[in-house]
Amino acid sequence: MAELLLTEEIMTHLHQEYPTAFDGIRTASDTSLWQTNTEFPFTLLLVASSSASEICIELDEEGHTSGLVINDTAESIRWAKAKFDHYKRRSDRVST
pLDDT tens for each residue of 51-96? 888 988 888 777 677 788 899 999 999 999 999 999 999 999 998 6
Average pLDDT over residues 5-9: 91
- Quick one: pLDDT at residue 63? 65
- 15 vs 50 pLDDT, higher one: 15
Q: Report the Cα 17 to chain-centroid distance in Å.
A: 19
What pTM was estimated for this model as a whole? 0.79
What is the tens place of the pLDDT at every residue in 30-57?
889 999 998 888 888 888 888 888 988 8
- Quick one: pLDDT at residue 20? 95
DSSP assignment string, 4-65: EEEEHHHHHHHHHH-HHHHHHHHH-TTEEEEEESSPPSSEEEEEE-SS-EEEEEEEEETTEE
